[in-house]
Every structure is written in structure tokens, then in C-alpha cells.
Amino acid sequence: MNIIKFYDEFAESYDKRHSSPATRIVRKKELAMIKRFSGGRVLDIGCGTGYHMQFVKNAVGIDPSREMLKIARRKGIKNLKPGRAENLPFRSNSFDTVLCFFAVLNMCSCKKAVREMERVLKEKGKALISVSSINGSRKFRIHKREIELYLFSKKALVELFRRNGFRLIYFDSVFRKTKPRWGDFTPFSLKEKIMLFLEKFSEKEKGEIYFFVFEKNPSSTT
């Protein structure tokens, strides 16, 4: 199914769907990364309805879904443009930080998108990434519509960024022992909460959602 049409059709319910307990955990991780690693002029690729932009100063958002951008504008978020990760409408070396969160890379031409991130970032600029990993589900379903995702291993994504001039400076994951239950608004049980806590002591590569921070570093290219 066409990705733009897919997101246009459920734009009005997007924020409600992403208020589930599972998504809140992912967003908590993403916001911690923003607080720790972002700075300067920020580009949010696949900004959707503008959730992350509410927590970032000096940000520009881009998304292929005009319906999602309409909702972001209703929230008073500015500096929004329609566009795709594979062809960013910005000058080279014009951003200090790039955000690309929660399945954007799983749904687009990831090689082109990473090349574009490298192009628009300044030297030593940071790319903050979250993706669905090979431990998750390949099928993404909402409103009875289904999209197949490309899932990443840690090794594959690190190598993709390395070949395009980046080095890894941070890695984490979530849902290593607990299933995320996307779209389910039932609170996590006590057992699930305990398992989520115990994930801190388990192997990070086993998580269903991966979190990365890469730094643009020309010496890392082959």
C-alpha cells in the first residue's frame, strides 16, 4: 500500500493510537536521547503530527503526509514542509541534529535516506534514530490496513551508517523480554512492569525497538 495514502487516512487517529503504554515507553526513550544528544538546528524527518518537535527548539519538520502536517500545524507547530527522507529539500551541511524516529527508516529507501542525512548534517552532527528490529514483527497493521516493514539488525544498520560517514556513539533497545502490544491501551500488568525493569540487565540486541545515535565523521567511511 502507498505509505503516504496510508498515513493520510489515519492522520486524525494517529495521536490517540500513539498514546498506548507501549508507544509511551518508546517515546520516553526518544525524548531522553533528544535531551542528551540534540542541539543546534534540528531536522525531524518523518515528524508526523509534530510530537517530538514540541520538545525541541529551532526545529524543522518534514513528512510526506500532508494530512499529518495539518494536524501538527493545528498544534501551533511551525517550520513544517512536505517531503520524503530520500530527498530532503535542504542545503548541505545545514543541520546540527537529525531525528528519524519509530519506523521511518523501516518504511523508506533506507540507503538513500542515510545518504541524505549525511549530506544535510554538519561535521560532528548527530543522527538520532529509532527503528523496528529483526526481533519485531514484519507486519504493521492499523485500521485493517497492513504494511510490510524492513527490519534491521544492529550490525546491518551500524554498517549502513558507517559506510555513509557516521560512527555509532550510543545504542539501546526496549521490549527485550516483554511484548509491546501495539495499539492496545491496557496498562502493563505488574508482571510486565517487572519484566520491563529486568530488561536493563539483558542483552540489548534482543530488543524489538532499537535506539541509535550516530555522529557524522568523515574518517569512518571506506
Q: Kindly give the residue spans of alpha helices, DSSP state H, lying in 84-177.
A: 104-107, 110-120, 154-163
Q: Read off the pLDDT of each residue in 56-64 and give the average, rounded to a whole number.
A: 95
What confidence score (pLDDT) does residue 134 get? 93
Largest CA distance in the chain: 49
**pLDDT exceeding 90 applies to what percent of the chain?**
74
| pLDDT tens digits along 161-203 | 999 999 999 999 999 999 898 878 899 999 999 999 999 899 9
Q: Read off the pLDDT of each residue in 51-72 and give the average, rounded to a whole number.
A: 95
| Cβ pair 60, 44 in contact under 8 A | yes
The least confident of 11-20, 82-91, 193-202 is: 11-20
Mean pLDDT across the chain, nearest whole number?
Answer: 91
How is residue 135 written as a grid cell? 526481533
The C-alpha angle 165, 171, 174, rounded to 5 degrees, equals 140
Look up the pTM and report it.
0.92
What confidence score (pLDDT) does residue 222 get? 43
What confidence score (pLDDT) does residue 205 get? 96
Flag whether pLDDT at 211 surpasses 70. Answer: yes
| pLDDT tens digits along 118-161 | 999 999 999 999 999 999 877 665 555 666 788 999 999 999 99
Q: Read off the pLDDT of each residue in 80-87 and give the average, rounded to a whole number.
A: 95
Flag whether pLDDT at 23 surpasses 60. Answer: yes
Which residues have a Cβ under 8 Å from the Cβ of 120 and sit 6 or more positions away?
Answer: 43, 88, 90, 91, 92, 93, 94, 95, 98
List the domain range (segments joined by +) for residue 183. Answer: 3-220
What confidence score (pLDDT) does residue 139 get? 64
CATH code for the domain of 64: 3.40.50.150
What confidence score (pLDDT) does residue 196 get? 93
Flag whether pLDDT at 102 surpasses 80. Answer: yes
Look at the chain and report how many structural domains it folds into: 1
